[in-house]
Chains A and B, each alone.
Chain A
């Protein structure tokens, strides 16, 4: 694909993203679009840490939950405006990410995976058991919505869509800048060959901590968005399944690519809703069975995910045209 046509595609994509909720007036579909966008941010932030930097984090749900609980509690208990709460939630998650990054400096593979799971599980138990603060497994409800301004309200799916879209655009813009810069190159060096990267002067400790912090910030930010959108959160946000959700979306879309988690998040959100109709018909819970099977098949047979497959197909087509 040439540079010009790629730009055109981007412009078309942006226009479509902006116009989409006006083209589809069904509120249920609009709700799915909002959910997809929140998961775009969540999955992309996991992808930055695991896909780009190779740090196998299985506790990403911790950041999601910290962001959601922090922003919700700040609004409920201290009356902090939710717009500020979104960023404070992100910042608190970032601080947690920095802390979690410290043991990770010495750990990799299964050791890092278990440490990060442990971190998230401990926080989930706190959210379950600190009943005075979090209402335990009942969860927090009545979380205030994002306050409106300039006559705009952010309580409907339609308007919240633009908030989530702006958030996703901000996250993706940051990730694009990061991964296309020298920083991104160093990250990939870190993933491919850590001692090698160190030997050519990459300060791996500083890079790991930085990437943990940034990834955690956006993980927390997406959680805070979810809290003010759903206005109801529970300790399930911190569970292993939430991390696996981000993982499945990213792998199926394409690990270590910018567009992979976007494709995966949108596809799986709509797929699981589509399957819900099938489930109602056949009375069987097939959604997660398909998730698991897709995950295995993707890793075994198409490691690049959908984006990798697309790139290989379009590269093949390009070659055919040149030859023909």
Chain B
């Protein structure tokens, strides 16, 4: 009983680490550019497929590490193109509605292009450990899932350091806090937008590779990470990076515990129930500051 509970908490933290990673990208893009990108999870889908093809070509360790690097680079590059081609032309004149709808167009387009290029058959990523499990007293998990958790944590910590130490990272944060003031300090806003969108997309891509180690990969999978990332982002307060990190874990644990003790069928509804309640009671999210 106790060990089942602990086991589910561990499982939840592992899934939650991936939710956090994907949501951090989404919340960063929202915080800096005010874009709610409904195609965010499709960037994860692209990242996952990069891993599928790379691992088929170079199996084992090299392929796995290479997949993460290639997904970050490839999806980051895709992000630059999408920002330049689709979002930037609208930045000065759009409303909330326009930019959400353009991202929905992107969602439909990417999902179906993926179906065209990759085929509808679900795929999985091979385990470089060959299915070894790790026992830690009361709980156990596969080495692969443990690695997935560790990678997510490493990436999140690197990002935190980058945003707080690097010049560009600080400039990104400054822009998120006050765009006009940042511009007056001589920050090149267009460059910040491009870097933020590329970085946010790269995080989605990395998250996609890790997501692919836990779940099946198929062309229309993107809707799930998109919706989870939005739930996490709203829970943490939109634009709040640390809020998103914590909320990712909260959602992961709530889902696995809810799936075990309440109902497996309604597991995917848990996140929505939580945010509907949160929005009704505390509209700025668990970690949100009130709007000025």
Contact = CB atoms under 8 A, between A and B. Distances in A.
Interface string B258-269: 000000011011
A56 B105 CA distance: 15
A292 B279 contact: no
B136 interface: no
A19 interface: no
Contacts of B272: 117-119, 121-122
Interface in A100-120: 103, 106-111, 113-115, 117-119
Given A118-B275, A128-B265, A289 B105 contact: no
Interface stretch (B46-54, B106-114, B247-255): B106-114
Nearest to B268: A125
Contact of A111 (B104, B110, B113, B234): B234
A296 B265 contact: no
B232 to A, nearest CB: 11
A257 interface: no
Nearest to A250: B101
Per DSSP, chain A at the interface is: helix
Nearest to B266: A125
A284 to B, nearest CB: 6
A260 to B, nearest CB: 14
A232 B207 CA distance: 39
A113 B89 contact: no
Given A247-B104, A292-B107, A293-B109, A50 B275 contact: no
Given A107-B283, A288-B108, A296 B102 contact: yes
B101 A289 contact: no
A108 B276 contact: no
Contacts of A251: 101
A121 B268 contact: yes
Contacts of B271: 118
B280 A103 contact: yes
A23 interface: no
Contacts of B238: 110-111
B116 A296 contact: no
B164 to A, nearest CB: 26
Interface residues of B, number: 41
A244 interface: yes
A240 B265 contact: no
B102 to A, nearest CB: 5
B67 interface: no
Interface string A235-264: 000001000100110010000000000000
B268 A296 contact: no
Contacts of B110: 292
A129 interface: yes
A134 B281 CA distance: 33
A117 B234 CA distance: 13
A108 B105 contact: no
B286 interface: no
A291 interface: yes
Given A109-B100, A114-B231, A285-B116, 16 more contacts: A50-B97, A103-B276, A103-B280, A109-B97, A110-B100, A111-B234, A113-B36, A117-B272, A118-B275, A251-B101, A286-B116, A288-B111, A289-B109, A296-B86, A299-B101, A300-B90
14 contacts: A106-B280, A109-B100, A110-B96, A119-B276, A121-B272, A122-B273, A291-B108, A292-B108, A292-B109, A293-B109, A295-B102, A299-B98, A300-B86, A303-B98
